[in-house]
Amino acid sequence: MFKAFTSVFKKKPVVAINVTPELVQKRHRLSQNLQQIYKSQIDLMNKSVDNIAKVPLINHYIALNDQYKTQYKEICNKSFENIDYSEENFLKLINKQLDFKVSELEAINNKITIDELLSLDENYTDQINDFFFKFHINRINASFSLKEYIYHESLLQKHSSEKVLNDAIKSTSKILSLNDYPIPKFVITKSQSEFPEIYCIAPHVIHIMFELFKNATIPSITHNKPITINIIDDIENENVIYEIIDNGGGMPTQMLGKIWQFHYTTSKETDRDVIHGFGMGLPLCKVFAKFNNGSLDLINRQGDGVTVRLTLPKFIEK
C-alpha cells in the first residue's frame, strides 16, 4: 500500500553534475536539516526504551535506532562540503537513505503479530500516541527533505483542488481494482463556481484521500450509495475543505475513541492484505495532514454515515 504512493516520486537518473559552491551550500543545508531530524528520531527512541518499550510492538520501531544512527553518521561527513566530492556519490548516498525511508514502515508492519496489536490496544496511552506521532512526523520530514534535494524544486506547491481530487479517485480506483476490491461511485460538488487552489504536497494528499475513500468503499457499496466529496472554499479562513461523505450507517460507538490510535485495527491476522489490516490508515493521515499545515476531523452520523473533513491551506506565509 505504501509503495503505491511513494513510487509517485520516480528516481531521476544520475548524470554527470558539476559541483559548484552553490551546490556545496545546498548539500550543507540538507546535511544540517537531516542531522537535526535524525538526532530527534534517535533521542525519541532512546527515551522510549525506558518509558514505553514494555509494549512489544514499540520495540519494532526502537529496533530502527541503529539504522538511524548509521544514517546520522553518514550525513555528518564533512567531505560533502568539499568541492572535489562528486555529486554522483552524494546522490547515491541520498537515494540509499531515501530507500530506507520508503521501506521502513513496511518492514515494521511485516513483523507485527495480532497479539502485539492486541497488547498495544490494551496498553495504549497518550505517551504512546505522542511517540508514534513524533516518529512519523520525523520520518516524513526526512523523506521530504531527501526528495526535495533530488528534485531540485519545492514539492510543496499550489495545485488545483479539483485535479488533486481527480488524481486521488483515479489512483484509488486503480489500487482497489488491482487488489480485487469493488470500486465505489463518486459524486463531486463545490461551494463556489470555480474550484479553489490548495497549497500542499500532492502525493501526500492523494494518499490521505485514498485511505478515506478505501474506508468509505464497503459501507457505500453495501448501502448502494455513492461517496460524496464537497469542495468547500473557506474564504474567511483562507482554507479549502474536502468534505468526504458516505452513507454507510456510521461507526459503532465503541470504535470512536480508538479510530485515531496508531495500529488499532478490527481486522484479523488472516484478513490482512496490501489494502488494510495494520491500523495505520487514519492516524497516519492525520500526520500527513499536519505536515501539510492542515487538519483532519471525523464526524460520525450514527445510523447514517461518516463525514471526514480534510482542511488544507490556500497558501503558506513565507
Q: What is the mean pLDDT of each run of 10 residues along the chain (318 residues)?
A: 45 70 95 98 92 91 96 94 94 96 90 92 95 97 96 91 97 91 92 90 96 90 91 95 90 85 74 55 95 95 90 81
Beta bridge mates, 298: 308
Instruction: Assign a CATH topology to domain 2-151.
Output: Four Helix Bundle (Hemerythrin (Met), subunit A) (1.20.120)
Per-residue CA distances from 307 to 171, 202, 227, 251, 304 (Å): 21, 22, 10, 11, 10
Per-residue CA distances from 247 to 80, 141, 219, 251, 309 (Å): 55, 35, 7, 11, 15
The reported pLDDT for the residue numbered 298 is: 94
Check if the beta carbon of residue 273 is closer than 8 Å to that of residue 179: yes
Q: Give pairs for 259-267: CB < 8 Å, separation 24+.
A: 259/298, 260/129, 260/286, 261/121, 261/124, 261/129, 262/128, 262/129, 262/132, 262/133, 263/57, 263/112, 263/117, 263/120, 263/121, 263/132, 264/117, 264/120, 264/121, 264/124, 265/117
Q: Give pairs for 23-27: CB < 8 Å, separation 24+.
A: 23/87, 24/80, 24/81, 24/82, 24/83, 26/149, 27/80, 27/81, 27/90
CATH number of this structure's domain 158-313: 3.30.565.10
Per-residue CA distances from 240 to 158, 246, 286, 301, 306 (Å): 12, 20, 16, 22, 19
The reported pLDDT for the residue numbered 8 is: 47
**Residue 299 main-chain phi, psi, to 5 deg:** -120, 120
Domain positions in the chain are 2-151, 158-313
* CA distance linking residue 154 with residue 124, whole number of Å: 37
Place of cell 473533513: 309
- Chain centroid to Cα 48, Å, comes to 22
* CA distance linking residue 95 with residue 89, whole number of Å: 10
